[in-house]
Structure 1
Amino acid sequence: MSSVTPFPGRPSTVAFHRTELSLILSLYGRMVAAGEWRDYGISHLKDLAVFAVFRRTAEHPLYRIEKRPKLRNRQGQYAVIGPEGQILKRGNDLRAVLRVLERKLIRVVE
């Protein structure tokens, strides 16, 4: 008996795990409640997974949260990329990497 693969020849893709998405969506919900973010998009590609956040639907991403497993032993597999393509934070601990965006929630109340 031969084994059958559901999608033969289909390349594997990088995806966010449920626990990773839980952390990201928790931050996303707080930013939406604060009026900072309005939309998001998720891409699962061959070498990376991207969670992009937008202020408005029809514009470039405000921030990108990327997962690149090949960088796990180097700079870290998670990164937050700014609107101009600059790396704001990189590391292997997603919670620590996302803190760079949580600082945007802190505002002075008068």
Structure 2
Amino acid sequence: MGIVTPFPADARGTGQVGFDRAELMRILDLYGRMVTAGHWRDYAIDMGRDAAIFSMFRRATERPEFRIEKRPALRNRQGIWALVGEAGQVIRRGHELGPVLAPVERRLMKLVD
């Protein structure tokens, strides 16, 4: 017959890093609220061997304002999650997604009289 090749054809067994459903729902919820508030207009998702990155843009032609990075290799060190700013500085690292997203969620809070 033929030769069956496993998909993806990766001899080392290192797969692609991605977001699970709960993580992506949390990130997209924040993104949707920021779009509604008028802060962001576009996003991009990059999934590679080392990291999965969700980037948020004010406009599609600019650099991302924030990047949420998931790097499983840093699980035992600084934490799997990182919030990276526009200039590439790491704003917050952590082992859980919620506290890492807190600086961005703070921008949505408004004082009410």
**What's the % identity of the aligned pairs?**
49
TM-superposition CA deviations, 1:52-107 (whole Å, max 9, x none): 00000111101000000010111000010001111111101101111111011123
> For the residues of structure 2 that align with 1:69 and 1:7, how far apart are their CA atoms?
20
* Offset at residue 20 of structure 1 (A): 0.5
Gaps of 5+ in 2: none
Partner amino acid for 2:42?
Answer: D
Where does residue 7 of structure 1 map in the other structure? 8
TM-superposition CA deviations, 1:1-33 (whole Å, max 9, x none): x97512323752111111100100010010000
> For the residues of structure 1 that align with 2:43 and 2:83, how far apart are their CA atoms?
14
> For the residues of structure 2 that align with 1:96 and 1:3, how far apart are their CA atoms?
45
- Aligned residue among 79, 93, 97 for 1:94: 97
- TM-score normalised by the chain length of structure 1: 0.90
Gaps of 5+ in 1: none
Aligned Cα root-mean-square deviation (Å):
1.8
Partner amino acid for 1:83?
Answer: E
